[in-house]
Chains A and B, each alone.
Chain A
Amino acid sequence: MYSQGLIGADGRTEETEDFLAAFQRRMDAEEKIEPNDAMPEGYRRTLVRQIGQHAHSEIVGMLPEGNWITRAPSLKRKAALLAKVQDEGGHGLYLYSAAETLGVTREQMTEELLSGKAKYSSIFNYPTLSWADIGIIGWLVDGAAIMNQIPLCRCSYGPYARAMIRVCREESFHQRQGYELCLTLSRGTEAQKAMLQDALDRWWWPCLMMFGPHDGDSLHSDQSMAWKIKRFSNDDLRQKFIDATVPQGEYLGLTFPDPELKWNEEKGGYDHGPIDWEEFWRVVKGGGQMNRDRITARKKAWDEGAWVREAALVHAEKRRARQLAAE
């Protein structure tokens, strides 16, 4: 998910004009680019960064929801949450392998995440404080992710597009289980309804930020559009998301925490209040509530798994040697 708000894309490139024009013609003809094809360095670099950021987001995204697996209120909810979190891990793995076809290694990408050099979606730097957050995340965070990801299924880079098709096929369950969870709470006790409203109040604005800065402030976005990496602008996708989501929230009897949110007959969509971009940049740059915890958790998993990775490699080597000896 979450790659629309690509942070710090750098599409600069130094090939000859003829080469770039020929590449652009392939793009304009909607041709797909495959791993060993000639491509501008800026195209490759943009994709490595975007797919990497996307993969990291899937992996870090397992943490806020994983936090509630042991406390799920029923076996059904626990099984669903476990399956969803496992899917997110799978999404990360599809995406890492798509990025690796561009000549980066998994180890490099992991190092960049752990050192803070690579970013991931800012939404995962918010804490999951109540069970209602799990419903809201499925409904809104995965819902926003779906909006971002569907156009990526047509991305010009073949391996990324193929990975996204697999991901999108699985996301719909994520959103539906979340909405159903919210629906259950909305029909529950007063305390449950209040818990749901509180979760919406906390998550709504961060979800709108998932689409990234306004079009006017979104650097390098034109180049990504020309290269068919990106198909819709940040603001267009955000608008689509709001228009689809508000009626769903009203059905749940919820109030969106935006007094300026109202239907605009003329444009056929909702108007909304200003987004706090200072908060967005603060969280992206590490000042969110959970930034440190997330990276600490990933580091711990990586460091404590080191001996397992080493042992598996040594064991594989030993088996190979034995096989050779037996032949």
Chain B
Amino acid sequence: MANETPLWEVFIRPRNGLSHKHVGSLHAADEVLALQAARDVYTRRGEGNSIWVVRSVDIVASDPDQSAENFDPTAEKIYRHPTFYEIPEDVGHM
């Protein structure tokens, strides 16, 4: 089976005002068929009103082995949060 049908990632917007969210993937020969299949597979019960399909090979992902160096340092940067700063109560809500 040399000819493998390409894999697509499917994103759906549940309703206007919300972002598209990844829901899964599927196989399709091209973008027309991918959209059609995404409609059948992922929106049988009013799950959304808009679909994006992206070829899986076009997604660039961060390396999970580097997730500690990428994401752990933010935990130490407490000064990025509003609660780090003390404002006298007399000043009122800020």
Q: How far is the CA of A312 from the CA of B45 in the complex (A)?
A: 28
Q: How far is the CB of B71 from chain A (nearest CB, A)?
A: 14
User: CB distance B64 to A97 under 8 Å?
Assistant: no
The 4 closest A-B pairs by CB, nearest first: A312-B29, A316-B30, A107-B1, A316-B29
Given that A86-B44, A93-B41, A163-B24 are known contacts, is A319 also in contact with B30, CB under 8 Å in the complex? Answer: yes
The answer, yes or no, to whether A201 is at the interface (CB within 8 Å) is no
Contacts of B57 in A (CB 8 A): none
Q: How far is the CB of A15 from chain B (nearest CB, A)?
A: 15
User: CB distance B44 to A93 under 8 Å?
Assistant: no
Pairs A–B under 8 Å by Cβ, sample size 20? A83-B44, A86-B40, A87-B44, A90-B40, A90-B41, A90-B44, A100-B25, A106-B27, A107-B4, A163-B24, A170-B45, A309-B3, A309-B5, A309-B29, A312-B30, A312-B33, A313-B3, A313-B29, A316-B30, A316-B33
The answer, yes or no, to whether A38 is at the interface (CB within 8 Å) is yes
User: CB distance B29 to A36 under 8 Å?
Assistant: no
The answer, yes or no, to whether A270 is at the interface (CB within 8 Å) is no
The residue from B3, B44, B61 contacting A36, defined by CB atoms under 8 A apart: B61
Q: Contact residues of A with B, CB < 8 Å?
A: 34, 36-38, 83, 86-87, 90, 93-94, 97-98, 100, 105-107, 111, 162-163, 166, 170, 309-310, 312-313, 315-316, 319-320
User: CB distance B1 to A97 under 8 Å?
Assistant: no
The residue from A37, A106, A162 contacting B64, defined by CB atoms under 8 A apart: A37
User: CB distance B5 to A313 under 8 Å?
Assistant: yes
With CB as the reference atom, state the residue of chain A lying closest to B47. Answer: A166
Q: How far is the CA of A170 from the CA of B41 in the complex (A)?
A: 12
The answer, yes or no, to whether B76 is at the interface (CB within 8 Å) is no
Majority secondary structure, A binding face: helix
With CB as the reference atom, state the residue of chain B lying closest to A33. Answer: B64
Contacts of B72 in A (CB 8 A): none
Contacts of B1 in A (CB 8 A): 107, 111
Q: A83-B44, A163-B24, A309-B3 are in contact. List 18 more A-B contacts (CB 8 A).
A: A36-B64, A38-B64, A86-B44, A90-B41, A97-B7, A106-B4, A107-B1, A166-B24, A170-B44, A170-B45, A309-B29, A310-B3, A312-B29, A312-B30, A313-B29, A315-B29, A315-B30, A316-B30
Q: How far is the CA of A313 from the CA of B4 in the complex (A)?
A: 9
Contacts of A310 in B (CB 8 A): 3
Q: Which of B11-41 contact A (CB under 8 A)?
A: 23-30, 33, 40-41
